[in-house]
Amino acid sequence: MATISLRKANARLPPEVNRVLYVRNLPFNISSEEMQIRIGTNKDTRGTAFVVYEDIYDAKTAVDHLSGFNVANRYLIVLYYQQAKMSKKVDQKKKEEEITRLQEKYGIPTSRDK
């Protein structure tokens, strides 16, 4: 019903609203079949998932109603996917790896060596 009222009112959505959601704090023992979504399995992506909606209003409804929802004693964090923030994290990891590589190349002790 909420999505219908948003559409009828032709409500202006905030700029961060999009069709792709990033879900965090999923239980590690839950399967993708149970949630009917694709769940991350790597060390860095466990407990996370991306959900793509066909309709932007359905995505907004999901964020509004599922963020904080309790699944297997864990509270979901549902956010709009923001490419700029995600790529900053990837860039940061690449920079850290490059610094470590250069430190090893030139024999400079790293924080791990201390």
Q: What is the DSSP string of 62-95?
A: HHHHHTT-EETTEE-EEEE--HHHHHHHHHHHHH
Mean pLDDT of the chain: 81
Cα separation, 16 vs 4, whole angstroms: 20
CB 103 within 8 A of CB 112: no
CB 40 within 8 A of CB 46: yes
pLDDT (0 to 100) of residue 92: 75
If residue 50 lies in a helix (H) or strand (E), which one and from where to where?
strand 49-52
What is the model's pTM? 0.63
CATH numbers and ranges of domains, the chain: 20-83 (3.30.70.330)
Cα separation, 50 vs 68, whole angstroms: 16
Asked whether the predicted pLDDT for residue 69 surpasses 90, the reply is yes
Q: How confident is the model over 21-59, as pLDDT tens digits?
A: 999 999 888 877 877 777 777 877 888 888 899 999 999
Could you tell me where the DSSP H helices lie in 2-70? Answer: 2-9, 32-35, 56-66
pLDDT (0 to 100) of residue 10: 63
Mean pLDDT of 64-83: 91
pLDDT (0 to 100) of residue 85: 67
Asked whether the predicted pLDDT for residue 113 surpasses 60, the reply is no
Banded model confidence at residue 112, pLDDT cuts 50, 70, 90? low
